[in-house]
């Protein structure tokens, strides 16, 4: 039995050195391509969300006005959406103070519900649409 195994092992020829080199190069190329695709995808995360700091300025029945106390970069007002609780609300800039449509420090941001009232304690959420990130969330005072 052992003699059969030894004979079988002796009779088996290995892979040709040329084929072995071709296989190693092919495996290396595929592995390098896979790592390149994986790593290059990590660097791209879409639009980075700016930071936004707001302080509540005033409140009416269906609106809240916030003063922008800080912003990492100017933000186009059209890139923002607002929620009051779970209801969609309009978000605008004070037109008397700002005419360029960009949210900057010391601007006033108006959040208005088209119908209904905004109760004290309800949450206001502002979302940066290009990145899909919540950049402000606070309770109405």
Question: For position 101, what pLDDT does the model report?
Answer: 84
pLDDT at residue 77 greater than cutoff 70 = yes
Residue 1 — very low, low, confident or very high, per pLDDT cuts 50/70/90? Answer: low
Q: Which residue has the higher pLDDT, 49 or 44?
A: 49
Rounded mean pLDDT, 88-101: 79
Distances (CA, A) of 10 to 3, 6, 7, 18, 20: 10, 6, 5, 21, 20
The fold for domain 52-139 equals Immunoglobulin-like (2.60.40)
pLDDT digits (tens, 9 = 90+) for 61-72: 999 999 999 998
Q: Where are the domains of the chain?
A: 2-42, 52-139
pLDDT at 22 > cutoff 60? yes
In the structure, what pLDDT confidence band is assigned to residue 137 with cuts at 50, 70 and 90? very high
Q: What is the mean pLDDT of the chain?
A: 85
Count of C-beta atoms within a 10 Å radius of residue 65: 16
């Amino acid at each position: 039995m052992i003699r059969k195994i030894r004979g079988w092992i002796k009779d088996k020829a290995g892979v040709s050195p040329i084929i072995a080199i071709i296989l190693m190069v092919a495996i290396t190329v595929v592995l390098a391509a896979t790592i390149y695709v994986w790593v290059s995808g990590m660097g791209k995360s879409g639009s980075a969300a700016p930071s936004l700091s707001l302080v509540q300025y005033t409140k009416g029945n269906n609106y809240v006005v916030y003063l922008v106390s800080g912003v990492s970069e100017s933000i186009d007002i059209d890139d923002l959406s607002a929620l009051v609780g779970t209801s969609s609300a309009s978000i605008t800039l004070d037109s008397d103070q700002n005419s360029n449509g960009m949210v900057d420090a010391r601007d006033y941001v108006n959040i208005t519900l088209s119908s209904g009232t905004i109760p004290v304690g309800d949450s206001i959420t502002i979302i940066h649409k290009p990145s899909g990130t919540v950049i402000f969330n606070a309770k109405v005072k």
